[in-house]
């Protein structure tokens, strides 16, 4: 199954729906010879790529680049390259875990802080009891995993399942994308997905905006009100909009 990309500020963004992405990943897992990695760029990540050629290359080499942010959807539409659907990292984790829970597919959770990876795995296993969690950790541990809760006791060490089918990586950007690109070939993983702050939302560490706010495209504003320190990061949206409009009217 092939999924095409559309260029937004020189970054290829996947033209796909949630259902098509789920199908692409699950069918791709049957191909044991090819490893894949997936990124979830939002306007902030596109701005990072605009000033960093290495990061731009990493995003463009990704098998899928899912539009995580209403700003990316807006930009694509303005540039005459509309995308099918916004695919948020947190939504991707939830839907993919639900999809694979009844299949012989394993998942891993890497990253986050304050034990949030463990809490994320717990929450998802509670919702999808048949979900097969092969790895949980804040940092990658070569050859073993140390767990940190009642289900994965801190004193317990066990070998990593040699077939971690899907590894969710939540180091934050740009660290997670660069780490995946640098390490994928030597990891016992078939698909690696950079998911940013998804663990924080799924674990309940950070409250997500109400559905109606998400549907209006103002989740970024909701997060800004709750986390005022994000104002410096959100300021990049102004430059993002400027670059999109400049490309629209000058090219």
pLDDT in tens, 80-97: 999 999 998 899 999 999
- Residues shown for the chain: 251
pLDDT in tens, 126-161: 999 999 999 999 988 764 444 434 454 333 344 454
Instruction: List C-alpha distances in Å: 19 to 36, 69, 80, 95, 107.
Output: 18, 18, 23, 9, 19
Per-residue pLDDT band for 163 (boundaries 50, 70, 90) equals confident
What pTM did the predictor assign?
A: 0.85
Instruction: List C-alpha distances in Å: 70 to 33, 85, 144, 219.
Output: 35, 10, 39, 9
- Pairing mode of beta strands 132-137, 157-159: unpaired
Residue 205: is its pLDDT beyond 80? Answer: no
171 token code pair:
């180091």
Average pLDDT, the chain: 84
- Pairing mode of beta strands 132-137, 106-111: parallel
Asked if 109 and 84 count as a contact pair (C-beta separation under 8 A), the reply is: no
Question: Tell me, what's the pLDDT at 72?
Answer: 95
Total domain count for the chain?
1
Question: Tell me, what's the pLDDT at 37?
Answer: 97
Question: Tell me, what's the pLDDT at 157?
Answer: 41
Angle at 94 between CA 177 and CA 103, to 5 degrees: 100
Q: How far apart are CA 12 and CA 157, in angstroms?
A: 40
To which residue do tokens 């410096």 refer? 232
Question: Domain residues for 203?
Answer: 5-250
What average pLDDT does this structure show over 202-210?
71
Asked if 180 and 153 count as a contact pair (C-beta separation under 8 A), the reply is: no
């Amino acid at each position: 199954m092939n999924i095409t990309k559309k260029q937004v500020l020189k970054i290829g963004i996947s033209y796909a729906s949630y259902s098509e992405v789920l199908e692409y990943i699950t069918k791709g897992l049957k191909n044991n010879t090819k490893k894949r990695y997936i990124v979830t760029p939002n306007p902030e990540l596109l701005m990072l790529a605009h000033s960093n050629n290495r990061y731009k290359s990493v995003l463009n080499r990704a098998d899928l680049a899912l539009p995580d942010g209403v700003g990316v959807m807006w930009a694509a539409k303005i540039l005459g390259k509309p995308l099918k659907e916004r695919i948020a990292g947190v939504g991707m984790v939830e839907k993919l875990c639900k999809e694979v829970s009844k299949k012989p597919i394993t998942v891993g959770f890497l990253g986050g802080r304050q034990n949030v990876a463990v809490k994320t795995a717990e929450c998802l296993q509670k919702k999808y009891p048949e979900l097969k969690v092969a790895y949980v950790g804040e940092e990658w541990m070569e050859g073993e995993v140390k767990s940190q809760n009642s289900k994965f006791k801190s004193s317990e060490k066990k070998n990593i399942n040699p077939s971690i089918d899907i590894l969710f990586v939540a180091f934050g950007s740009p660290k997670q994308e660069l780490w995946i690109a640098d390490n994928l070939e030597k990891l016992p993983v078939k698909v690696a997905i950079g998911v940013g702050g998804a663990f924080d939302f799924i674990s309940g560490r950070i409250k997500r905006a109400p559905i109606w706010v998400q549907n209006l495209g103002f989740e970024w504003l909701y997060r800004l009100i709750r986390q005022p320190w994000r104002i410096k990061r959100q300021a990049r949206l102004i430059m993002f909009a400027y670059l999109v409009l400049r490309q629209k009217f000058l090219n």
